[in-house]
Each structure stands twice: as C-alpha cells, then as structure tokens.
Chain A
Amino acid sequence: METSPHGVQSLMRNIRIIARLDVKTEHLVKGIQLEGLRKLGVPNDFARKYYQAGIDEIIYMDIVASLYERNSLLPIVRQASSDIFIPMTVSGGIRSVENARAALGAGADKVGVNTAAIKSPQLISDIAAEFGSQCMVSSIEAKNTRINIWEAYYDNGREKTGINAIEWAKECEKRGAGEILLTSVDREGVGNGMDIDLISNVCDVVNIPVIASGGIGNIAHMKDVITHTNVSAVAIAKILHYGDSSIADIKAALRQLEGIEIR
C-alpha cells in the first residue's frame, strides 16, 4: 500500500508521465549530463506531437535563461497554449514574482524555479503566496558527490552551491513549493536508468509530489523508478525526442504494474 502525497492511504497510485523539453533560444535541445547540447528542432512541433499521443504534462525548460538573464519561452508557451490543453510548466529564467506572473499569463500552469531560489529562497514563498503552491515547482539539479550525498547545482548543472540537495528539497517544501522537479545531473541524457537512491531519499523527506527527471533510456527504467520510489511523476526527454519509445507503448507497459494508475 502506498501513501499519497496528502498522507491518505489509497489503493492506487496515480503516476503522471511528463515530456520535458529543454529549450535554447528557438531550438529544442538535448544534451548528455546537461552538456553538449544538440539542436533537435522546433519545440512546439515536439510538444504538439506528445500532446496528441497522450502525454500528461509538458515541462518547458529554458536552459540558457540564467545566462542571458531573460526567458525566451513565453512566445513558445503562448503559441502552445492555443492547441495544447494539458498542464504546462515553464522553468528557467523565473527570477521574480513578476516573471512568474508573465509566464502564467502566457499560458503556463506552473512555474519552475531553481537558480533564483538558490540565490534567494524567499522567492519560493513569494510565488507560492501570490499564485498558490500548486503553481510553484522547485526545480532541483542534484549531483551525487559521495555515497548517499547529493549537491544542488544551478545554471543547467554547471554551478555548485555547496547545498545538500535533500536538505534543500525539505527547505523548498517548507517555503511553499507545491512540487519538486528533481533532475539527476549524473544520469541526465545518459539513458542508463534513474538515480533511484536520490529519488527515494527526496521522496522520503517531503510530502509534496516529486517529478523524477534524468536517466530514462527505456521502459524498464520507468518501471524501476515507479516501483522502487514514491515518485508522483516521471519526466522523459531522450527516448521521446529520438523516437526510441512511443507514449502509447510506455503507458501500456506501465498499466501492467500493480497498484499503478496511468491516465
């Protein structure tokens, strides 16, 4: 029996499958360990395809926003909101309540914050207070440093913080985050499976939903993370972008898992 995010015992655990789209200027990009970013095409061509195939949510991640100190996702999200009717999260370059307001105004349902929250954790509380916790996703980039220790990174996995990622997840929840997007920098883009230890450690210390990101190379990896952790959602990129697996196949396979509900 699993515990739902709200602490209520339920028989079925609902798992969301999320497509993660890393965006750099007008390109959909994909790297390995967030490095060597390869241009793959127009983000919304992919987003629309995933929506039509039944993906549950979409995360747009502007991965150069911190570099440019701007967010170039708004026109992309605005365009997507006219024909994609599932929850969309905009992450990257959200540095203020006003940035969050603009993203939500453009059609996003949630905003993800990493760099700016590391620099000023108060931003999490401010966004949650203004728009509600359900809008406030704490994006955490975690890198394994020692056995069972992870450090939070920012700027697309490039900058160290010295902050323990597990402690940081607790802090984010305490400050009002409604959800955690947890990316393993080590596993991202490699396709060798997720960092199960990282994900279970975070799931164990927070009560809000955790979206696991980084490492899915096949459907078995998804089964692994769903059965071995209390994760609420899995974000995938590589296998969708490169066409290695279809959303229909993924969902069909996961429906076979006992106690798991897939939309």
Chain B
Amino acid sequence: MENIYRRFNYYSLKPSLRGSLALLVVLVAIIPLLYVFLSSMQLDLQGWKDLWTGRLPGLLWNTLSLSILVAIGSAILGISAAWWVTRREFAGRRLAIWLMVMPLTIPTYVFANIYSNLLEENGWLGRAWHLVFATPPPELFNLFGVAFVLTLAGFSYVFLLVQDALSRSQQNLEEAARIQGATPFQVFYRVNLPLLRPAIAAGLAVVVLHVLSDFGAVSMLRFQTFTLSIYLQMNGRFDFQAAAGLSLVLVSLSLTFLILERFFRNRQRYYGTSQASRYKPRKATAFETSMIWFWLGLIMLFAFILPFAWMLAWSWDAWMDDLIDEEFWGYVRNSMGVSFAAATLTVIAALPVALYHARQRHFVSQSFLHASSVGFVLPGPVIALGILAFVLANMPMLYGGIIVLIVAMVVRFLPLAINAQESAAQQLTPSIELAARSLGASAIETLRKVTLPMIRGGMISAWVLVFIDTLKELPATLILRPTGFDTLPVRIWIEASEEMLELAAPAALMLVIGTLPIIWFLMKPEKSTS
C-alpha cells in the first residue's frame, strides 16, 4: 500500500503556485547563507589553514559532544515522560502534561543564569548540595553543566512530538501484535518504536538544532561552541571572514545531520485510516501512580518549579522596590508584538514549502526543504548580520524598521514551522486529497477545504513553537532591533550581564506568563481527542 502512494505522483511537475511560492520563501531564507559564502570567499588559504589547525578541532569536539549529551538527555526525559502520560491514566495527568511543556517558556540563558546562581555556595541548591554531600557544589561552567542546562531547556520538544504521536497511534496495531504473541517489550520495539521514529527524530532534530545555534547559555557559561566562537570572532576581533569560515563549517555539519534525520524519517512511512480507534490509556495502579509522579516530579522540579520559584522570589523583591515601571511594560508590549507578527508570518511562509515537499518528492522540493533549513543551522548572530548586510545594500529604506527584525526571525525559525507542518501533512493520507480532486475540487479548494483543516493541528503547533522561540530570541534581536527598541530577552540579557537579577527576574517571569495562554492553545486539541 505504501509503495503505491509513494510512486503515485498525483501532482504534475509543471510549475505550480505552491512551487513558486515555495521558491520565493526559499530565496529569502538563503540570504544569510549567501552572505556567509561571500564573506568566507575572502578568507585566504592561510586563513583557512589557521582555522583548521587552531580552532576547529576543539570546537568540533565541544559542539559534537554537547549535542550528543543533550540529545541523549532529552531522549530519556522526553520519551519516558511522553510514554507515561499517554499510556496510563493517573491523577493529575493533564497537569503533568502542562508542566512538561512549561520549560519551553524559559530561555536557555535564563536557565544558565538561574542555575549558576542556585549552585553558588550560598544559593538554594549550593546549600542543599553541601548538606547532602558535604562538598562544594559542582561548577556549571563545563561540558556537563551546559549539557544539563540545555537538556532542561530542550527536552520538552521531544516530549511534545512523541506525546502527540503516541496519543494518535492506533490501538489495533498493538492489539494485533499482542494477539500474535508479542511480549510488551517486542510491541514497543517492533510496533511503537518504528511508528514513533519520525516523531523522535523530529524532536531530537529540533533539540540538536537548538544546541547548535544556542547563543545564550553557552555565552553565559562560557563554553566554546561554534556559535559562541563565531560571535566572539565577529564581535571581539571584527574578523568577519574567520567568522564566516567557521559558520560554513557549522552549516555543513548541521546539514549533514539534517540529511541523516531526513533519511531516518523517509525510510518508512505509515498511513492510518481514520476509522481505527485511538489508544485509550489504562488506569494506573496506586504504585504506578506514585512511581510516575516521582519521576515526572523530579523532572519538573529541575526543569520548571525551581527556576520558576527563583523568578517569583526575585520578582517579588523587584516589585517591593518599585522597579516594575512603565518602561517594563513597554518591553512586554514590544516582545509580544514582534513575536506575534513573526510567528504568524513564519507559519504562512512555511506552508508552501512544507506542502510542496510533503506532496511532491523530487530533487527540487528536496533542495527547497534543505535550503530553507539553513536558517536554523546558522547561528542567530550570523543570520542577523546576513540580513542586515543584504538590507543595507539593497533596500536601505527598510533599515532600522521592525520589519527587518521580523524577517530575520522568520528566516531563523522557518525550519521549525516547516517541520511541524510537514509531519502533520505526512500523516494525512493522500487518498483523501485524491478523493477531493476526483470529485472535481480544484487544487486551491482541496487545500482550503481538505488539507488545511486536517493539518490544522500541525499549523497550530508550528505557530506556537515559533512564537515561543521568537519570544525568547536574543542574538538577532540584539543586532537588528530598531534604536531604543528593547524586548524582554534583551533586557534580561543586559540586566543579567550586570548582575541586576532583581531586574532580570521579572522580565523572565513575564516570558513565562506571556507564553501561558499560548501553551493552553497548544494543549487544547489534545483535550478534544481524549
């Protein structure tokens, strides 16, 4: 069955509306990459040699080992949590799902800042550590510290995607396997895992891409990855060529990784029928409930409750000192406005690329997809500079306006939106669209009446994911914001680097609170299916 669909190319190869729209989006998305290419071409042979022998080995090791550690950590936390909340019905299950997603509202640099404070000798964790182990608390300023912080900040992506896939997986497959005599482990390994593979791969891809492009945590914790080194090259030494050279290496690294991920995802595709019954979680025993809550509680404690309590405590101080003034609410408005516009625009821009690739498999659609991923694999500062250079050279009247910042954000988070929408489109059986076409609906009508309503969930999660990321976005905002235009992340950055924690905490708190309704929106479809 699968092969029939794969071979059946039901849209022709002739230039379509969706294809040309996709091309337009891709052309904008690759601007920063072109900038990197052009700048690195000015790097002479000696420059490349210096990079290869001097910096690269250490950076490669740091970046790769960090990515692997965070991927492992996120997989363990995300998959285990997703499994329990979809396979067992227990008291407080919905609360647990909520709390598992909440860490997404906390930016990595806030995590880094909070944990380095908590782990100081007189910090909450520092003192607790001293009581238990009677040794000084561990340092965060190393590989494991950074991996810890980035895992807490990122595992929710895996959780979200795996949980979604698990709750939509169909019971009949598992039942059939059990009837055939498979053990529960065999069911997991041979039925669930292959079905989950796209979700796990997509989740881990998002996590690793966040690690590769993370600027906030690594610069606060001074762990030299590619992104930090590129930023320091540009900003400390004004060496754009070396920075571009490093970016180019980073891009090839990330693209290799992305192609690998695609490979794993593409090898198998499964379509279900809508009649099959969804999985109904079994009621948990008392023992199971307490075990589940112990494990989930432990994750939540570190990933959300502790940081949140810290923010509340410091914000309270700020509130008492009357530090929350009109200016502060201005930052909140700026942040919300930019993120809202950027998320909406990103989802719209992602749609043609995602659909084009989901429905038409050929060289062009593949390369569009990979080209549009470039936004995610380039570090934020490089994207910002690429857009900046382009705008200054070609459309200087736009410079200094908010539109440039929003376009940079769209370029940066486009792959996230494409990923989410495309995996939704992939799960949609092509036969439904074929049916609509054969009943005489035009392509646009099919899109409007069939495809879009059915991938609505994917579009909503794409919007939410992008909104959350744009709300936290730091490096591009630092570079491209209009004069005097401060967002919450920018303020957090400025105050935290001056150690004005009572000013950084309320801003971080507002990020969490501002994302709450969005998360509620994201979780709503889940409610209707249960």
A is bound by B: no
A residues in contact (CB < 8 Å) with B: none
